[in-house]
Structure 1
Amino acid sequence: MELPKVSIENMNVKLSLGGLLLNVLYVRFGYFHQSFVEHSHSMKSYELHYIPRGRGILVANGLQYPIIPGTLYMTGPDIAHEQITDLSDPMAEYCICFEVLSNTGSDDPDLALIADQFVQTSFWFGQDKQNLLELFEQLSRETSDRYIGWHATVQNIMEQLVIKLVRNYSNNYPTTSVMPLKTLDDERVVIIENSFLSSFRDITVRTLAQKLGLSVRQTERIIHRYFGMSFTQMLTKARMTAAAHLLHTTTMSVSEIAQHVGFSSLEPFCNAFKKYFNVSAGDFRASNRKNYLSFL
C-alpha cells in the first residue's frame, strides 16, 4: 500500500537557527515510477532527500550511489544529480527544498556549528542514524490533518529535521555548550510561588525578602511586576483559597480553619473571608461544589 502524497508549494515557513535563516521552498512526498533526469539547484538552494521505501541509484557529479530504505542525502548548489528508480521496487522519497536567506553567525557554538555544517555541505550521502522517518511521518500527518496549531508544529518539525540532518553529517558531534540556566528573576518567581503555596500561614514580606536576597521594597516591586498584585493581596488569595478548600473537603471547624491558614482569631478570618468571597464561611461550606467553583 502506497503512502499518501504530500505536496506543499505555497506555505510560508521560515526557520531560524541562530544566525541561519532558511526559507522552505517546498515539501514533497511521492513515489518514483520513472527516473528523475539530471538537474541542479540555485546557488542558495539545498534539497534534503529521505528514502523510506524502495531502491534505486543516485548519480551525483558523475558518481553512482546505491539507494536503499533509510538513505539520506543532501544536494546543494550546483550539484548535478539524477535519481534512477528500480521499477520492480520503486523509491518513495520525502524531499524538502531549503533556501538560505542569511547566515550571520551565532554566539551559541551548537547553533554556529549547525549553520556552518548546513551551508558548507553541498553534498552528503549516507544512511540516516537519527530516525528521521518518525519526523517525516509526523510532518505528513500535520500537513494532511491541519489541526489547530499545525503551522507552528510544522515549523518545529522542520527545525528538528535540520538539526538531525547535521547530526548525521557530523556523526553526533558532542556539544560544547552548556544548558541555559534560569535567570535570577526566574528563580525568584519560583521562590515567591512556593512561599505563598506552602508558607502562607506565617510568611511576612520581610521573611520573603530575606529568602529572595532583596529589600522589602524590591520584593514588593518584583511581586507586582510578575503577579500584578501586592504582597497583601497575594497573601490573602493564598489563605482564602486554602480556607475554601478546607471548608469543602474537611470537617474542620471554621475556627480551626482560621488558625490553620494563619489567623490568630476567628473574627478577622470571618471578616476577611466574607469580604473575599462575598459570603460567610458557614454559608460557603453549605454551598454545593458547583457554587464553590464559581466563587473561585
Structure 2
Amino acid sequence: MGHPMIQLDNLDLKIMLGKLVLNVLYIKSGFFYHSMPEHRHSNGSYELHYIPSGHGSLVAEGREFPLSPGSLYMTGPGVKHEQITDPSDPMFEYCIFFEALPSGRHHHERLHGRSGDDSEDVCEIARLFLNTPFWIGQDNQQLQLVFEKLAWEINARAIGYRRCITILLEQTVFGLVRNYTNNRPTLQTEPLKTLDDKRMVLIENNLLYNYKHITIKTLAGQLGLSIRQTERAVRKQYGMSLRDKLQEARLQEAARLLDATLLTIGAIAEQVGYHTPESFTSHFKKWHGVTPSAYRARLARTNPVSPAEENR
C-alpha cells in the first residue's frame, strides 16, 4: 500500500497550547528497511511515531512491544528505545519531533504577536503531553487521515498552507493525548450565545417571518430594550431604521411573489402588509424603480415560458 511521503525539516513552526510552546523540529516519513539502534532523546524532546502499515517491534526501557498497522507511540526525554522492523513486512512510519521550549522563550514568542489557547481543555492537554514521556497503543483517533492531509498540504503548498499545517499538527497532539486518556470527556462547558447575539437572531427572525406585524414597540419588548435602544441596535446591524428595514423586507417578498406566483397585484399587496394596492404600488416603484406590473412584465420577457410549460 502506498502512503504519501513527508519530508520537512527546515520550517520554523511552533504550536502554542496554553503556556506550552512546542517547536516542531521535523516531520518525516519512510519505510524501516533496517532496524533503528537504541537511543534516547534529550530533555524537552518528544518524538511521535505512527505506523500505518508493516510490522515490527519497539523495545523501550527493556520491554518489547509489537508494532502493527495503527500503532501509535510517543518517546519522550530520556526514554531508551529501539525500533526493530520485520524484513518480510517493513514498517512505514510517520514521525514528528517536538521540542518543548522553556518558559522564557515562550514569552519571547508572545512578544512576536502569537498567543495560545488558554482554555481548560488545552491546558490539560499540554500538561498530559509534558507528563507522559512514554506511551504506546493502537490509535483510535483516525490519525492516519491527519498525516495524509498533512502530507498533501506540505507537498501542495497551496495558499494558507502554513496555517493549515499548524492546525493539523495541533490535531496530532490532541489525538495523541485523547489516545492517552481513552477519550476522556471535555473539561469545558459549551460557550453560549451572548445576550447581544440572541437579540440579533431575534431581530433577524422577526424581519424574515413577522415583518407584516412587528412594530418597534413589540420588538423592543421582545428584546428587553427601550425603543431608542432597539432603534440603535437595528441601525447598527443593518445601517437603516427598523421602518426602512421592514419596508425592504415587504418589498423583497413582493418581488419574489411577482416572480414565483400568478397572484394579482392586489393580493400581493395584502399578503405583504399594505392596506391598498395604490400604497403598495407607490412604495414598490420607489424601491425598485418600476411598478409591480412593469416588474412582472420585465421578468416575463427575461424568463419566457417554454411551450411545454404552457401546455401543462
TM-score normalised to structure 2 length = 0.83
Partner residue, 2:52 = 52
2 CA distance for matches of 1:125 and 1:176? Answer: 24
Q: 2:188 aligns with which of 177, 195, 207?
A: 177
Within 5 Å, which residues of 2 pair with 1:247-258?
247-258=258-269
1 CA distance for matches of 2:179 and 2:197? Answer: 35
Is 2:33–2:85's contact at 8 Å kept on the other side of the alignment?
yes
- Mapped pair 1:205 → 2:243: no
Partner residue, 2:230 = 219
Decide whether aligned partners of structure 1 residues 203 and 67 sit closer, same or farther in structure 2, where only a CA change above 3 A counts: same
CA deviation digits over 1:31-63, x for unaligned, max 9? 112223344434333221101111222233444
CA deviation digits over 1:110-157, x for unaligned, max 9? 222211101111221222122222222232333334455544433333
CA deviation digits over 1:221-266, x for unaligned, max 9? 2223333333233222212211111110011122221221122222
Task: Please provide the CA RMSD for this pair.
Answer: 2.7
Q: 1:90: Cα distance to partner? A: 0.7
Is 1:56–1:68's contact at 8 Å kept on the other side of the alignment?
yes
Decide whether aligned partners of structure 1 residues 283 and 207 sit closer, same or farther in structure 2, where only a CA change above 3 A counts: same
Q: 1:188: Cα distance to partner? A: 1.1
Decide whether aligned partners of structure 1 residues 180 and 245 sit closer, same or farther in structure 2, where only a CA change above 3 A counts: same
Is 2:39–2:80's contact at 8 Å kept on the other side of the alignment?
yes
2 CA distance for matches of 1:32 and 1:289? Answer: 70
Decide whether aligned partners of structure 1 residues 257 and 146 sit closer, same or farther in structure 2, where only a CA change above 3 A counts: farther
Q: 2:151 aligns with which of 120, 131, 140?
A: 140
Is 1:30–1:92's contact at 8 Å kept on the other side of the alignment?
yes
1 CA distance for matches of 2:301 and 2:144? Answer: 48
Decide whether aligned partners of structure 1 residues 220 and 39 sit closer, same or farther in structure 2, where only a CA change above 3 A counts: farther
Decide whether aligned partners of structure 1 residues 137 and 218 sit closer, same or farther in structure 2, where only a CA change above 3 A counts: same
Partner residue, 1:153 = 164
Aligned residue identity for 2:166? Q
Percent identity over the alignment is: 49
Partner residue, 1:288 = 299
1 CA distance for matches of 2:144 and 2:90? Answer: 18
For the residue of structure 1 that corresponds to 2:7, the secondary structure is strand
2 CA distance for matches of 1:154 and 1:185? Answer: 35
Q: 1:192 aligns with which of 164, 187, 203?
A: 203
Partner residue, 1:41 = 41
Q: Tell me, which stretches of 5 or more residues in structure 1 are unaligned?
A: none
How many positions carry a matched residue from both structures?
Answer: 292
Is 2:4–2:148's contact at 8 Å kept on the other side of the alignment?
no
1 CA distance for matches of 2:299 and 2:122? Answer: 56
2 CA distance for matches of 1:141 and 1:266? Answer: 61
Q: Tell me, which stretches of 5 or more residues in structure 2 are unaligned?
A: 108-115, 304-312
